[in-house]
Structure 1
Amino acid sequence: MVLVIPTCRDLGIGIVFSPLGRGFFSLGLGITDKFSDNDFRMILPKFQPENLEHNKTLYKRVNEMAMRKGCTPSQLALAWVHHQGNDIFPIPGTIKIENLNQNIGGLSVNLTPEEMVELESMAEVVKGDRYPPKFPTWKTVDTPPLSSWNAE
């Protein structure tokens, strides 16, 4: 995300970002215990045992900061994205109204520059890619060259 932000800003493009980690910040340390047998998240690299233990230590640090701030870890994550600038928009993917209402509380969380640096340092060391290798994303799918597009 570090290189994307300046480029998008140079081009006047807004950014949407989902910081809740597929439920990691709302479900906490026992998240994988709550997965059903067919839960899509079971294949995600960040939830694999070799990455999960490391990521749980980051969660504990986020949770400690959230407790100091009087908010939930999800609200803190949303506040971190909200504080990135007026051109970056957090998108908390939820289907439950109670989670939406709680997430709105992230708008009231004020972060100091020092807290922003601390959260950024944690975000930089999360282990496990967003998706498994060869999963169809912008990294794995060939986009036809612009010259081949029919803009009519």
Structure 2
Amino acid sequence: MTRLQGDNFDHNKLVFERVSEMAQRKGCTLGQLALACVLHQGDDVAPIPGTTKIDNLNQNLGALAVKLTVEEMAELKFLASFKGARIPEQILAHSYLDTPPLSSWKDE
């Protein structure tokens, strides 16, 4: 996993720390921050978290209370710059992933 190797690891660790700091400032978990970020993308975008436990569902629902400013959304967009492949090439070559690149998402 190239995201966890060499300079990529150091860069990605810094990104993780910055996002964790924001979650701490907002008084929420990383998962709630991630869900809140998706919820703030617009009315035509919805997160689909999966869980089999009521406690996790309740934690996910806590994302509805997380309010993000335009500046915080811009910071999260800036921070969404992990280095290295998300999935090893050997696996990606045999998958049907067709997620559009972040650059194609609409800006608010």
- Give the 5 Å matches for 1:29-44: 44=1
- Give the 5 Å matches for 1:93-112: 93-112=50-69
Deviations 1:47-68 (A, max 9, x none): x233333222111111111111
- Give the 5 Å matches for 1:3-152: 44-46=1-3, 48-50=4-6, 51-123=8-80, 125-135=81-91, 136-138=94-96
Task: Tell me the distance in 1 between the aligned counterparts of 2:56 and 2:27.
Answer: 17
> What is the percent sequence identity of the aligned residues?
54
Q: Which moved more, 1:54-63 or 1:108-117?
A: 54-63
Where in structure 1 do 4 or more consecutive aligned residues deviate above 6 Å?
Answer: none
Matched length: 95
Larger RCO, structure (CA 8 Å, separation 6 or more): 2
Task: Tell me the distance in 2 between the aligned counterparts of 1:45 and 1:100.
Answer: 32
Task: Tell me the distance in 1 between the aligned counterparts of 2:24 and 2:97.
Answer: 37
Task: Tell me the distance in 2 between the aligned counterparts of 1:130 and 1:86.
Answer: 27
RMSD: 2.1
With normalisation by structure 1, the TM-score equals 0.54
Larger Rg: 1
Structure 2 segments unaligned to the other structure (5+ residues): 99-108
Structure 1 segments unaligned to the other structure (5+ residues): 1-43, 141-152
What is the letter of the counterpart of residue 116 of structure 1? M
